[in-house]
Amino acid sequence: MNRSIFAALGDLYNLRFSSYKPLTAKTFRLRCRDGGDCYFVKRSNIYSQEKYRFLYEQGIGNVAYPLKNVKGHFVTNINKNFLFLSNFYPHFDIVGEIKAVNLADELSNLHYNTYFKRQLSVEFSRKNMEQLFEYLDYKFAAMEMFIRSIETRPFDEYSIVILKNYQYLLDAKRIMSELHKGLIGAIKEKKSVNYAFIHNNPKTAHLLTSAGKHYLTSIEKSKMGIPSLDMAKFYIENEHLNFDIKNVILPYLDKYEDPFYRHYFYFLVLLYYVKGLIIIDKDYVTSQNFIFAAHAIKKFIRMFDLVEEDKTE
C-alpha cells in the first residue's frame, strides 16, 4: 500500500496521518499529525463488514470492533483495498498458557451468545461427510501402498522411522471410521444441533487484552458453524502449551449434554493431522512428517482415551 491509500483512508475517518509503519504483510501502525495518536490498520476482505455488523447488532461485547468511518462502516473499500482502522494497543507479553485459557473462555462466550438450533442437512452435511471419507480412503490406501513399497526395499534410517510410527496412523484410521459412522447416523436422523458464530482461527495472537478485559480479533475466517470446529482448531493451535487443555475443552463440549459434539471434535482433530501428512518418498521430509503426525495422533488419542493404551510400552 502507498501514502495515497492512507490519505484516502484518513479522509473517511476525518484524520490526517503523518507516518505509517508496516507491522506484518497485512497490518500497519499509523501515526496522526495532531497529537501523535496511533492507529492500527489491517487488510481485510469484502465479507468482514457484514460479520462485524452482525456481531455489533447482536450486542456481542467480546469482539474488538474497528472504528466506524464517516459512512458508518466498519470496513472501508479504497480501490478494492478492504481496510479497517482501530485504536492501536501496544503489545505486552502474557504467559501463553494464560492467554490460551482466556481465549477458550471468550470462544465459549461468543458461541453461547450467538447460537441457534438447526437440523443437520441430509443433502448437504451427508454429501460433505461422504466426500471427506472418500478422501480418507484415498489417503490411507496411498499410505498403505507406500508402506508396502518400503517393506520391499532394504531397511535404512528412514524406513525404520516410518514403519515404527505407522501403527499410530492405523489407530487414527480405525477411530475415524467409527466416528464417521456415528456422524453419518446423526445426519440421517436429522439431529438438531447447536450452530453458532465461530471464530475459525482461534490463535492466542488473536486475543487482545486491555484494561483487564479480553477481546477476540481477526474474524476474517469466521462463519456460522458447529462449535466443535473452534475447539478442534483451538486444540491444534495450543496443544504444545503446558496446561491441562483436555480439562479446558471437554467441560465446554459436555455442556451440550450430547456426545455428538465430542465425537465431531475428535474427528476434526484427527482429520487435520491425517490431511497434513505428506508422502513424497522414503526420505528425510517424509520420515520427519511421519514422526510429527504419528506423535501428535498418539498424544491426542491417549489424552482423550480414544484407545486403550498399550501396556507393553
Query: Residue 74: what pLDDT?
Result: 96
Query: Residue 73: what pLDDT?
Result: 96
The residue count of the chain comes to: 313
Residues of the chain with CATH 3.90.1200: 96-303
Cβ atoms within 10 A of the Cβ of 60, count? 17
Say whether pLDDT at 165 is over 50. Answer: yes
Confidence grade of residue 307 (pLDDT, cut at 50, 70, 90): confident
Going by the DSSP 8-state scheme, the letter that residue 204 receives in this structure is: G
Question: Which residue reads 503489545 in cell numbers?
Answer: 91
Q: Is the dihedral of CA 207, 116, 186, 221 positive or negative?
A: negative
Say whether pLDDT at 117 is over 50. Answer: yes
290 against 82, higher pLDDT: 82
Query: Residue 282: what pLDDT?
Result: 62
Residues of the chain with CATH 3.30.200.20: 3-87
273 against 123, higher pLDDT: 273
Mean residue pLDDT of the chain comes to 90
Say whether pLDDT at 53 is over 90. Answer: yes
Beta bridge partners of 77: 82
Beta strand 81-87 pairing with 38-43 = antiparallel
* Phi, psi of 147, rounded to the nearest 5 degrees: -65, -45
Q: Using one digit for the tens of pLDDT, what is the confidence trace for 225-255?
A: 999 999 999 999 999 999 999 999 999 999 9
Query: Residue 7: what pLDDT?
Result: 87
Dihedral of the CA atoms 145, 151, 155, 159 (nearest 10)? 30
Least confident among 86-100, 163-177, 192-206, 299-313: 299-313
Task: Determine the topology of domain 3-87 in CATH.
Answer: Phosphorylase Kinase; domain 1 (3.30.200)
Say whether pLDDT at 35 is over 70. Answer: no
Instruction: Give the list of residues 6+ apart from residue 152 with CB closer than 8 angstroms, or none.
Output: none
Question: Which residue reads 466498519 in cell numbers?
Answer: 74
Instruction: Give the list of residues 6+ apart from residue 307 with CB closer than 8 angstroms, or none.
Output: 171, 174, 175, 301
The reported pTM is 0.90
Say whether pLDDT at 171 is over 90. Answer: yes
> Averaged over 160-166, what is the pLDDT?
86
Query: Residue 310: what pLDDT?
Result: 42
Task: Determine the topology of domain 96-303 in CATH.
Answer: Aminoglycoside 3'-phosphotransferase; Chain: A, domain 2 (3.90.1200)
